[in-house]
Amino acid sequence: MPVFEYKALDLKGKSHSGIIDAESAPTARQKLRATKKFPVSISEVADATIPSRSAARALPNLFNHVKPLEIAIMTRQLATLLGASFPLVTALDTLLPQTRSQTLKKALAQVKDSVIEGKSFAQALEQYPRIFSPLFINMVRAGESSGTLEVILERLAEISEKQVALGNRIKTTLAYPVFMSIFGTLVLFLLLAFIVPSITSIFEDMHQVLPLPTRVLISTSDLLKAYWWLVLLCLAVLFFFLRIFTKTTRGKFIADKIAITLPIFGTMVMKLAVARFARTLGSLLENGVSMMPSLETVKNITGNVHIANAVKAATKEVEKGQSLGDSLAAYKAFPGLSIQMIQVGEQSGNLESMLAKIADIFENEVESQLLRITSLLEPTMIVLMGSLVGFIVISVCLPIFEMNQLIK
């Protein structure tokens, strides 16, 4: 069924906008008038405006991105409605006015139409891989098969909320150091490119050799003053080149290899990837998805090519009859603790709960390590910025002190 985007006025003259599904534009107008809304404009939403499977590669992520928090909120609300004995179609229809993201709202409207046409909920969601992850779709499929869709959706909401909360904590922890780095670099750039030249110009008439720090400062200042635009251009070109390069297969491989081999930060990247793998695999197994389909789902969600390759290789070994712990241990991409815990979980028959513990342990370790690093970064950055400003002040003052000595 087509979906229409509308702008309308109510009886009090208040403006409303949203989407509505109807067989045609006149039918959409009639449906709006039945709800005491009088359409000002109405237009059909083209399928291309939703990032469906056919358009997933063509549409840039910037324009059709749906935030994980919005997915988590929608999932929680849908689980609540289904738990209150709402039929799926009615629950989706109830969610539409509550959804803020226009992209998600349009996708849900078309998912509802697909369900009405006879598709399963999972099949309808598969049309929008840029919005709903393979984990989401597979768990919904398992919930439909077992008749526990509301329970699965509750579990999905918990997973999404934990991932969003962890991401927010990491961003909050890194916000201050990143802000200070950008602000400090900008201040130093302005000092060297525009303020220092006006001060050091008084030394041009001095017929004597300037101190080395002053000569270095003047040379750096002259370079930035003359070519500041070139510096910014080179930085922009480098940024876009790296962004494009890391989108390629080889670029992603190299970037991920560097990421896990960096001192200190490499360990955190690895632990986050393993935590994501463990939490997702544990949730799938706990909710009735068998081992092989679960491994096929999680192998591409780790966020790191090298760990993903290890999972893919281990999946083939598991298919041949090997245990998961032994298969992962052979490729040495996972920390030893995670391998041992997986092996204990398999031997005791509690693999799902053990995977959840692995995720909790590694997420807590990453968060604690980030707090320690940022607590050290703040004084380090202050000392560094103070040293650079001190160098500028000394470089300016040294010739003045020499002039005073000559006057005496």
Could you tell me the residue ranges of all domains in the chain?
Answer: 3-45, 192-408
In DSSP terms, 189 is beta-bridged to: none
Q: Is 13 left (phi over 0), alpha (psi -120 to 50) or beta?
A: left
Beta strands in 61-167 (DSSP E): none
* C-alpha of 1 from chain center: 33
Q: Which pairing describes strands 3-9 and 15-21: parallel, antiparallel, or unpaired?
A: antiparallel
Q: Is 263 exposed, middle or buried (0-12, 13-18, 19+ CB in 10 A)?
A: exposed
- Model pLDDT, residue 54: 42
User: When comparing pLDDT for 224 and 313, which is higher?
Assistant: 313
DSSP per position, 191-231: IIIIIHHHHHGGGTT--SPPPHHHHHHHHHHHHHHHHHHHH
pLDDT in tens, 340-357: 999 999 999 899 999 999
Q: Which SS3 state, helix, strand or coil, does residue 48 take?
A: helix
Cα gap 381→379, rounded to integer Å: 5
What are the backbone angles phi and psi of residue 406, rounded to the nearest 5°? -65, -40
pLDDT in tens, 182-240: 888 888 888 887 887 877 777 766 666 778 888 888 888 888 888 888 888 998 999 99
Per-residue pLDDT at 301 exceeds 90: no
Q: 265-286 vs 249-261: helix axis angle to the nearest 10?
A: 110
* Under 8 Å between Cβ of 352 and 155: no
Per-residue pLDDT at 53 exceeds 50: no
For residue 121, which of 87, 144, 154 has the smallest C-alpha distance?
A: 144
Q: Which SS3 state, helix, strand or coil, does residue 23 take?
A: coil
Lateral strand order in the sheet of 3-9: 15-21, 3-9, 38-44
Beta strands in 45-145 (DSSP E): none
User: When comparing pLDDT for 79 and 29, which is higher?
Assistant: 79
The CA angle 186-369-346, to the nearest 5 degrees, is 140
| Residue 55 pLDDT grade (very low, low, confident, very high; cuts 50, 70, 90) | very low
* Under 8 Å between Cβ of 105 and 131: no
At 271, the amino acid letter reads K
Per-residue pLDDT at 398 exceeds 80: yes
User: When comparing pLDDT for 8 and 58, which is higher?
Assistant: 8
Tokens of 67: 């935030």
Q: 255: number of CA atoms within 13 Å, CB side?
A: 14
The CA angle 404-406-408, to the nearest 5 degrees, is 70
- Model pLDDT, residue 355: 92
Mean pLDDT, range 15-40, rounded to an integer? 76
- Model pLDDT, residue 28: 76
At 311, the amino acid letter reads V
Lowest mean pLDDT among 47-61, 65-79, 111-125, 129-143: 47-61
pLDDT in tens, 354-369: 999 999 999 889 888 8
Look up residue 45 and give its DSSP letter: P
**What topology is assigned to 192-408 in CATH?**
Receptor-associated Protein (1.20.81)
* Under 8 Å between Cβ of 116 and 1: yes
- Model pLDDT, residue 344: 93
Percent of the chain beyond pLDDT 90? 7
Per-residue pLDDT at 404 exceeds 80: no
